[in-house]
Amino acid sequence: MSRLLITVATAVTTIAVFTLHAPAVAHRTAVSPFTFHRDVVPILEARCGRCHLDDSVSGVALLRYPGARNAIWPIRQALASGHMPPWFAEGAFKAPAPVTGRELNILMTWATGGAPEGRPVPREPLVPARWALGTPDLVVPMPVAFSMAGNQRDVVHDVAMPARRIAGRLIRAVDLRPGTPAMVRRAEIIARSGGREQVLGLWQPGEAAAPLEANAAFRVPVNAAVVLRMHYRRPVGPAISDRSELGVYFARAAANPITTIELGAAAGREADHRVDRPLQVVAVRAMSGPSGAWVRLVLVAPDGARQPLARLEIRPEWNRRYVFSKPVILTAGSRIETSLVPSADTLWTSLIGERPGSADHLRVVLEVVDSSN
């Protein structure tokens, strides 16, 4: 007997049929008029494809029918809960184009309504760009490959990178090219010196490293070590190894060096940071905090005028830098108000089966340059 039927065993179904009096409107049956090849693939390619190729670390190959068909329930969860596409911020950021209401409706109708395949449409395969910002000025491979044994799942591995050609330089952007995309979940690129760690980049799969505005750049200390903090996730299957490459884009000598402002707040309370000199905010990142909670940043001008700066949802797995499309001007004497809105909405957590995080200490970092430069 087939395994399928053994697991189902016997289903005894009792049906009680009622007569109904009150006229009410029945719901429409969800039979998708949209088919995979004609309607769904173009949306998946544009909005999801770069992270959901056959060898992506997401493990969900969406651009082929069998992969998408097998994932219709996770697709429904991920889309309805807002977990996918992963963008957990509101603000004037350089952001990938979002899924529109119409597109979302097509994807959900298809996934809910039987996921019909339709007739294949010839299409060029999606080839992700090698380096989103163009060829880097310097490419540094990991000195040795990192292997994961068959019993490992998630491993954080610090790689000491040769820093000779990076230390002491001004860096406009860094990027990562995973050697084995299927196992590189995310990475932090860090300059470490004197016990201090400076984040040069937070890499996420499928994400183009956004160049910073205001001619901003990181000054890597002369004595710095460069560390690649790799978050590996082994796919199901045999042992596997990775040797990723770090891409470095140098800035012109006249670039504005970036400094950081650390913000924090306890749940339900507000915290203030006073700006003592004119600054421009180029990027913001939420480094830690209770997962699922929202951080709200509000700019308060010296005359009391308030302007929302950003709202970030804390998703430890999705740590990233949100780059402002235009630098935000902070005048001396203004304040940045930080508040933490605990996750009232437990829906995404319950839908994707995660629990809201504990009260991890909130740490939000603003990357700023001096306006006087």
Candidate segments 9-17, 80-88, 163-171, 246-254, binder of ligand HEC by CB under 6 A = 80-88
Candidate segments 23-31, 237-245, 314-322, 333-341, binder of other proteins by CB under 8 A = 23-31
Check residue 276 for interaction with ligand HEC (CB under 6 A).
no
Neighbours of 150 (CB within 10 A): 10
The single residue listed with the structure tokens 């903090």 is 229
In 3-state terms, what secondary structure has residue 69? helix
Candidate segments 32-40, 53-61, 143-151, 218-226, binder of ligand HEC by CB under 6 A = 53-61
Check residue 66 for interaction with other proteins (CB under 8 A).
no
- Cβ neighbors of 8 (< 8 A, separation 6 or more) are none
Enter the tokens of residue 32: 């998708």
In 3-state terms, what secondary structure has residue 309? strand
What is the nearest approach in angstroms of other proteins to the Cβ of residue 117? 11
- Considering only 274, 350, 359, 360, the residue that binds other proteins (CB under 8 A) is 350
- Name the binder of 98 from ligand HEC, other proteins, none, CB < 5-8 A by kind: other proteins
> By C-beta, is 70 or 307 nearer to ligand HEC?
70
What is the nearest approach in angstroms of other proteins to the Cβ of residue 68? 11
| Contact criterion met (CB below 8 Å) for 179 and 242 | yes
DSSP E strand boundaries for 40-169:
89-90, 138-141, 146-148, 154-161
- Considering only 57, 63, 99, 216, the residue that binds other proteins (CB under 8 A) is 99
In 3-state terms, what secondary structure has residue 24? coil
The single residue listed with the structure tokens 């190959």 is 61
> By C-beta, is 106 or 368 nearer to ligand HEC?
106
Check residue 202 for interaction with ligand HEC (CB under 6 A).
no
User: What is the separation, in whole angstroms, between the first and last Cα of the chain?
Assistant: 76
Neighbours of 281 (CB within 10 A): 24
Candidate segments 79-87, 140-148, 288-296, 341-349, binder of ligand HEC by CB under 6 A = 79-87
CA neighbor of 292 nearest in space, from 247, 248, 358, 239: 358
- Cβ neighbors of 273 (< 8 A, separation 6 or more) are 261, 263, 335, 336, 338
Check residue 18 for interaction with other proteins (CB under 8 A).
yes
In 3-state terms, what secondary structure has residue 282? strand
Rg (CA), the chain: 24
The single residue listed with the structure tokens 């990938």 is 96
- Name the binder of 175 from ligand HEC, other proteins, none, CB < 5-8 A by kind: none
- Considering only 41, 61, 99, 142, the residue that binds ligand HEC (CB under 6 A) is 99
Check residue 358 for interaction with other proteins (CB under 8 A).
no
CA atoms of 40 and 105, how far apart (whole Å):
10
What is the nearest approach in angstroms of ligand HEC to the Cβ of residue 131? 16
Candidate segments 144-152, 276-284, 330-338, 342-350, binder of other proteins by CB under 8 A = 342-350
- Name the binder of 121 from ligand HEC, other proteins, none, CB < 5-8 A by kind: none
Cis peptide before 120 (omega within 30 of 0): no
CA atoms of 113 and 27, how far apart (whole Å):
13
| Contact criterion met (CB below 8 Å) for 359 and 329 | no
The count of residues interacting with ligand HEC (CB under 6 A) is 22
- Considering only 34, 35, 36, 51, the residue that binds ligand HEC (CB under 6 A) is 51
- Name the binder of 319 from ligand HEC, other proteins, none, CB < 5-8 A by kind: none
What does residue 178 show for φ and ψ, rounded to 5 degrees? Answer: -65, 135
Enter the tokens of residue 186: 């995310």
Per-residue x/- mask for ligand HEC, residues 288 to 317, rule CB under 6 A?
-----------------------------x
Check residue 237 for interaction with other proteins (CB under 8 A).
no
* Torsion angle (degrees, nearest 10) of CA 208, 321, 197, 309: 160
Give the binding site for other proteins (CB under 8 A).
Answer: 1-2, 4-20, 23-32, 69-70, 72-73, 76-77, 79-82, 98-102, 104-105, 108, 112-116, 345-347, 350-351, 353
Binding site for ligand HEC (CB under 6 A): 47-48, 51-52, 57-58, 60, 71, 74-75, 78-79, 84-86, 99, 204-207, 317, 352
